[in-house]
Amino acid sequence: MAKNIAKPNDDTTVSARFNHLDSVRSTNLERSRYIASLTFPTLLPPNGINGSSEMPKPYSSVAARGVTNMASRMLSALIPLNDLPFFKFDLADGTEPSAEAYGYMESLAHQVYAKLTSNNMRESIFMALQHLIVAGDVLLIMDDDYSFRVYRKDQYVVRRDIDGSVVEVIYLDWKPKNPNNPTYEAFDNQFFPSSWNAMSAMPDYEAYFSRVVRNDDSGAWDFWSEDAEGTKIDSGVFTTSPFLPLRWMGVTGEDYGRSHCEEILGDMETLEAYTKAMIDGMTAASTFWLAVDPAGITELDDIAESPNGAFVGARQQDVFTISPAQSISPQLSACQTAVEQMRREVGNAFLLGSAGVRSAERVTATEVRMMGMEIENVLGGAFSSIARAMLQPIIRRTITLMVKDDMLDDRLAAELTVNGQLSVNVVTGLQALSRDADLTKLMQMGEMVRNLPPEAIQSFKWTEYASSLISAIGFDPRNWVASEEEQQKKQQQQQQQQMEMQAQGALSQGVASGVGQAAQTGVAEAAMQMMSGQGQAAAPPPPPM
**Number of Cα atoms under 13 Å in the Cβ half of residue 514:** 6
Q: Is the pLDDT of residue 478 over 80?
A: no
Give mean pLDDT, residues 57-61. Answer: 91
Cα 527 to Cα 524: distance, rounded to the nearest angstrom: 5
The pLDDT value given to residue 414: 76
Chain centroid, CA 117 distance in Å: 10
- Cβ atoms 12, 183 nearer than 8 A: no
d(CA 477, CA 488): 18
Q: Is residue 131 a contact partner of residue 245, using CB atoms and an 8 Å limit?
A: no
* Confidence at 5, pLDDT banded by 50, 70, 90: very low
Q: Is the pLDDT of residue 242 over 80?
A: yes
- Residue partners of 171: CB distance under 8 A and separation at least 6: 139, 141, 151, 155, 156, 157, 209, 210, 243
Residue type, 496: Q
pLDDT at 138 > cutoff 90: yes
Work out the mean pLDDT of the chain and round it to a whole number: 78
Three-state SS for 20-50 is HHHHHCHHHHHHHHHHHHHCCHHHCCCCCCC
Residue 82 CB neighbour total at 10 angstroms: 19
Nearest alpha carbon to residue 199 among 183, 216, 182, 187: 187
DSSP state of 4: G
CA atoms within 13 A on the CB side of 387: 26
Choose the most confident range, by mean pLDDT, from 93-102, 174-183, 348-357. 93-102
Query: Rounded to 5 degrees, what are φ and ψ at 22?
Result: -70, -35
The residue length of the chain stands at 545
What are the DSSP calls for 478-534, one per residue? GGTS--HHHHHHHHHHHHHHHHHHHHHHHHHHHHHHHHHHHHHHHHHHHHHHHHHHH
Task: Find the range with the poorest average confidence among 8-12, 109-113, 297-301, 350-354.
Answer: 8-12
The answer, yes or no, to whether residue 343 has pLDDT greater than 70, is yes
Instruction: Find how far residue 425's CA is from the centre of its chain.
Output: 14
Q: Residue 20 carries which side chain, given as an amino acid letter?
A: H
Q: How far apart are CA 372 and CA 77, in angstroms?
A: 6
What per-residue confidence (pLDDT) applies to 366?
A: 58
Give the model's pLDDT for residue 195: 47
Give me the pLDDT at residue 166, please: 93
| pLDDT tens-digit map of 149-181 | 999 999 999 999 988 899 999 999 887 776 555
Q: What is the dihedral of CA 285, 290, 293, 297, to 10 degrees?
A: 160
pLDDT on residue 539? 46
Could you tell me if 11 and 226 are in contact, meaning their C-beta atoms sit under 8 angstroms apart? no
Phi, then psi, of 354 in degrees rounded to 5 = -130, 160
Instruction: Name which of 2, 263, 267 is nearest 132 in CA terms.
Output: 263
Compute the distance between CA of residue 363 and CA of residue 290 in angstroms, rounded to an integer: 62
* Span 347-373, average pLDDT: 60
End-to-end CA distance of the chain: 153
Facing residues of 160 across strands?
166
Scored b (16 or more CB within 10 A) or e, 105-143 reads bbbbbbbbbebbeeeebeebbbbbbbbbbbbbbbbbbbe
Contact 352, 66 (CB under 8 A): yes
Going by DSSP bridges, is the β-strand pair 221-227/232-238 parallel, antiparallel, or unpaired?
A: antiparallel
pLDDT tier at 538, thresholds 50, 70, 90: very low
Q: For residues 130 and 40, is the Cβ–Cβ distance under 8 A?
A: yes
Could you please report the per-residue DSSP string of 85-105? -SEEEEETT-PPPPHHHHHHH
Per the CB < 8 A criterion, the answer to whether 55 and 42 are in contact is: yes
Q: Whose CA is closest to 116, among 429, 399, 491, 466?
A: 399
Question: In angstroms, rounded to a whole number, what is the distance separating the alpha carbons of residues 357 and 368?
Answer: 6
159 with 21: CB under 8 angstroms? yes
Phi, psi of 267 (to 5 degrees): -65, -40
Amino acid at residue number 251: V
**pLDDT tens-digit readout, 417-467:** 767 788 888 876 444 444 556 667 778 888 888 888 887 777 787 777 887
- CA 221 vs. chain centroid, Å, equals 26
State yes or no: pLDDT of 213 exceeds 90: yes
- Binning pLDDT at 50, 70 and 90, where does residue 413 land? confident
